[in-house]
Amino acid sequence: MTIKQLSIFIENKSGTLIRVLNMLSKAGIQIIASTLADTKDYGIYRVLCDKPAQAYMLLKESGINVQLSDVLALSIDDTPGRAAEAISKISDADVNILYLYSFLWKGKGVLVFRTDNNDRANEAIMLGKMTFLTEMDFR
Amino acid sequence: MDDKSPYLHPEFETLSREELNKLQLERLQATVKHCMNSPFYKQRFESIGLKPEDIKSLEDLRRIPFTTKQDLRDTYPFGIASVPLRKCVRLHSSSGTTGNPTVILHTQKDLDEWANAVARCLWMVGLRPDDVFQNSSGYGMFTGGLGFQYGAERLGMLTVPAAAGNSLRQIKFMKDFGTTAVHAVPSYVTRLYEVMQEQGVDPRRDTKLRVLAIGAEPHSEEQRKRIEQMLGVKAYNSFGMSEMCGPGVAFECPEQNGLHFWEDYYIVEIVDPETLEPVPDGEIGELVLTTLNREAMPLLRYRTRDLTRVLGRTCPCGRNHVRLDRMRGRSDDMIVLRGVNIFPIQIEKILMQFPELASNYLITLTTDDDNDNMTVEVELEELFTDDFQRLLQLEKEIKRRLKDEILLTPHVKLVPKGTLPVSEGKAVRVVDKRKVYQ
């Protein structure tokens, strides 16, 4: 099961990130986890938050280049080797991971990633009896 | 002609101002009369009640309306010609990417005169029949190719139509054929030097190069000096434009202090691009040219859109043909980059074909390590993916299509919506940071 993540297109320039963060802050949106990836010229700021649909509308109306992306979030135990275990199941299903980030949430590890085939990834996760996190978990 | 003479055509090159003006008036009157064979000029003169015999002095030239590039487009392809097509032997044309192309026709006499003019330029900078001339510029519709080819042959040099590109072969030719003179756009000369360095070729030791003709793209005095130092040559500025045949309109003499415009071929005016009134010597204005010995397609008061200024009307070289500064820019929005003419509208047209892109864009021209480059920044309309690969693919596709349109590959940079400058409602489209305009 996928959850919604904000993907925000920003310029590699001072002041661009804070503009987005201020907007989210003013609207009382809680960031759960975020990661900024960049090329030479621009970056994509990826954000998991408590109210993705609301945040999306807000940013879009302010003229920000934003997309709601479908990502997978897996809950794993916070012990060595669990990430390798989880990802190997995805990889065995011949699914490519486009990007991934992780964080700790309520004592558990969370792996967030986007794949080139979410259906197949879903199936692998079900078969592997791994635990999805849903948007409800972050509210 | 005696090799020792500094002039190929002393009977024209060394005329006094008075003699030049007298010749110009005779030729202007003949040209205007001949123009009445052109449907375009006949109609234009009649519409303002002007008759060829009204042109009694050079001052009367100002009674004749300007001719513009738009006039050439509107009369495409043969509407301005002053001779029947069967008398024409050559056609050159601009690419016409911004509308109808402009077509220039030549009779055999026009081609002969053109070759003479180019030969005069090359002789002026010391080239003689013993020299070997390698023409490393584009042929085909680009007039720099055939123009220099015929001019160099007319002078009597062994002439190599090497054309542009294939740097390794260019360098081999230079070494094997004993090339002493090259014509190329400045950015290509720099490229050739880079390849020479990679190949361990020292131009001073391994070639006989001594003269370079450079033109067709803006370059600064510093760039010229650098080229001269790199190759151990003298580099001379060349000016031409397809509407005026091509190269051979103006060239630097050994003084390297401005370009002599051949006033037996052209009447030179510098006007304020807004008021269209003449500007005093030394002030920058738009160059306006009237052809004086063209048969197929004389042009009266043609607005070149190039900005320049008069540096002087005498010269230690003994020629009184007016000396103009190198081109200082354009009075329209045309960009000249690496010898290619580009209008921003061409770029806009391509960008608008991508639904992923917003309508705001910015073209920045820079000089990096002596190479002139173009960067096109364009705003993203919608973030349609959060996958970098797909954004890079989009950039690549934009680059590819721009290259098809403008013939060179710009850098393309996607930027978020709302980040490009918008001023006074009208977007700033071009920022020129090239050294030559600093």
Q: What is the pLDDT along chain B (438 residues), one digit of tens a residue?
A: 799 999 999 999 999 999 999 999 999 999 999 999 999 999 999 999 999 999 999 999 999 999 999 999 999 999 999 999 999 999 998 765 556 788 999 999 999 999 999 999 999 999 999 999 999 988 887 899 999 999 999 999 999 999 988 999 999 999 999 999 999 988 788 889 989 999 999 999 999 999 999 987 767 787 788 899 999 999 999 999 989 999 999 999 999 999 999 999 999 999 999 999 999 999 999 999 999 999 999 999 999 999 999 999 999 999 999 999 988 778 887 888 887 888 887 888 888 889 899 878 899 999 887 788 999 999 998 888 888 889 999 999 999 999 988 888 999 999 998 888 765 444 568 888 887 654
Chain A stretch 112-131, residues whose beta carbon is closer than 8 A to a beta carbon of chain B: 114
Residue B408 counted as domain residue? yes
CB of B62 within 8 Å of a chain A CB? The answer is: no
The predicted-structure confidence for A116-127, as pLDDT tens digits, reads as follows 998 899 899 888
Cβ neighbours around A75 below 10 Å, total: 17
DSSP H helical segments within B199-285, as ranges?
Answer: 203-206, 221-231
What span, in angstroms and rounded, lies between the C-alpha atoms of B234 and B236?
Answer: 7
CB of B359 within 8 Å of a chain A CB? The answer is: no
The answer on B310 and B343 residing in a single domain is: no
Q: Between B384, B386, B416, which is nearest A64 by CB?
A: B416
Do B240 and B118 form a contact (C-beta atoms < 8 A)? Answer: no
CB of B232 within 8 Å of a chain A CB? The answer is: no
Q: Decide if A114 and B387 are in contact by the 8 Å CB cutoff.
A: yes
Q: Reduced to 3 DSSP states, what percent helix, strand and coil does chain A have, rounded to the nearest 5?
A: 35, 40, 25
The answer on B218 and B108 residing in a single domain is: yes
| pLDDT of B424 | 47
| pLDDT of B352 | 83
The answer on B227 and B158 residing in a single domain is: yes
Peptide bond into B77 cis (omega under 30): yes
Residue B431 counted as domain residue? yes
User: What are the structure tokens assigned to B318, written together?
Assistant: 């003994």
The answer on B265 and B157 residing in a single domain is: yes
- Per the rule left: phi > 0, alpha: psi between -120 and 50, beta: everything else, B339 is left
Measured in angstroms, the CA of B379 and the nearest CA of chain A are apart by 9
Chain A stretch 10-49, residues whose beta carbon is closer than 8 A to a beta carbon of chain B: 10-11, 16, 37, 39, 41-42, 44, 46
Listed in order, strand segments (DSSP E) in B109-217 are: 132-135, 158-160, 181-184, 211-215
Measured in angstroms, the CA of B423 and the nearest CA of chain A are apart by 18
User: What are the structure tokens assigned to A83, written together?
Assistant: 């990430």
The answer on B349 and B304 residing in a single domain is: no
CB of B349 within 8 Å of a chain A CB? The answer is: no
* Strand B211-215 versus strand B181-184 pairing type: parallel
Q: Between B383, B389, B415, which is nearest A7 by CB?
A: B383
Contact residues on chain B for A7, CB-CB shorter than 8 A: 383, 386
Count of CB pairs separated by less than 8 Å, A with B: 50
Pick the CATH number of A71-138 from 3.40.50.150, 3.30.2130.10, 3.30.200.20, 2.60.40.1120: 3.30.2130.10
- Predicted TM-score (pTM) of the model is 0.72
The answer on B311 and B257 residing in a single domain is: yes
CB of A64 within 8 Å of a chain B CB? The answer is: yes
Residue B313 counted as domain residue? yes
List the one residue out of B302, B315, B314 whose CA is nearest residue B268: B302
What span, in angstroms and rounded, lies between the C-alpha atoms of B250 and B246?
Answer: 10
Q: Where in chain A is the domain with CATH 3.30.2130.10?
A: 2-69, 71-138
Contact residues on chain B for A64, CB-CB shorter than 8 A: 416-418
Contact residues on chain A for B380, CB-CB shorter than 8 A: 9, 65
Measured in angstroms, the CA of B385 and the nearest CA of chain A are apart by 7
The answer on B389 and B308 residing in a single domain is: no
Pick the CATH number of A2-69 from 3.30.2130.10, 1.10.1200.10, 3.40.720.10, 3.30.360.10: 3.30.2130.10
User: What are the structure tokens assigned to A73, written together?
Assistant: 């979030």
Closest residue, chain B, to A97 (C-alpha): B387
* Strand A108-115 versus strand A66-76 pairing type: antiparallel
The predicted-structure confidence for A6-20, as pLDDT tens digits, reads as follows 999 998 888 889 999
Q: Reduced to 3 DSSP states, what percent helix, strand and coil does chain B have, rounded to the nearest 5?
A: 35, 25, 40
Q: Decide if A67 and B386 are in contact by the 8 Å CB cutoff.
A: yes
The answer on B383 and B240 residing in a single domain is: no
Do B217 and B174 form a contact (C-beta atoms < 8 A)? Answer: no
More confidently predicted of B416 and A39: B416
What span, in angstroms and rounded, lies between the C-alpha atoms of B324 and B237?
Answer: 11
Q: How does DSSP classify residue B99? A: S
Domain count of the fold of chain B? 2
Q: Which of B359, B362, B386, B414 to mutate to test binding with chain A, by most A CBs within 10 Å of its CB?
A: B386
Count, in order, helices (H) and strands (E) of chain A.
Answer: 4, 7
Measured in angstroms, the CA of A98 and the nearest CA of chain B are apart by 7
CB of B417 within 8 Å of a chain A CB? The answer is: yes
Residue B5 counted as domain residue? no
Do B216 and B432 form a contact (C-beta atoms < 8 A)? Answer: no
Residue B208, exposed/middle/buried by CB under 10 A (0-12, 13-18, 19+)? middle
| pLDDT of A129 | 87
Closest residue, chain B, to A10 (C-alpha): B416
Residue B377 counted as domain residue? yes
What span, in angstroms and rounded, lies between the C-alpha atoms of A118 and A96?
Answer: 10
Residue B2 counted as domain residue? no
Q: Which of B331, B353, B382 delimits the end of a domain?
A: B331
We report the CATH number of the domain holding residue B268 as 3.40.50.12780
Q: Which of B314, B331, B348 delimits the end of a domain?
A: B331
Q: Which of B378, B380, B383, B419 to mutate to test binding with chain A, by most A CBs within 10 Å of its CB?
A: B383
Long-range contacts formed by A57-61: CB under 8 A, 24+ apart: A58/A23, A58/A24, A58/A27, A58/A29, A59/A6, A59/A8, A59/A20, A59/A23, A59/A24
User: What are the structure tokens assigned to A137, written together?
Assistant: 């978990």
| Domain of residue B389, residue span | 336-437
Contact residues on chain A for B382, CB-CB shorter than 8 A: 65, 67
Angle of helix B108-124 relative to helix B143-155, nearest 10 degrees, comes to 70
The answer on B385 and B302 residing in a single domain is: no
Long-range contacts formed by B87-94: CB under 8 A, 24+ apart: B87/B295, B87/B296, B88/B296, B92/B141, B92/B143, B92/B242, B92/B246, B93/B141, B93/B242, B94/B141, B94/B242, B94/B341
Q: Which of B296, B314, B331 delimits the end of a domain?
A: B331
| pLDDT of A7 | 96
Contact residues on chain A for B419, CB-CB shorter than 8 A: 11, 16
Q: Decide if A67 and B415 are in contact by the 8 Å CB cutoff.
A: no
Residue B274, exposed/middle/buried by CB under 10 A (0-12, 13-18, 19+)? exposed
We report the CATH number of the domain holding residue B431 as 3.30.300.30
Listed in order, strand segments (DSSP E) in A50-122 are: 66-76, 97-105, 108-115
Residue B4 counted as domain residue? no
| pLDDT of B438 | 45
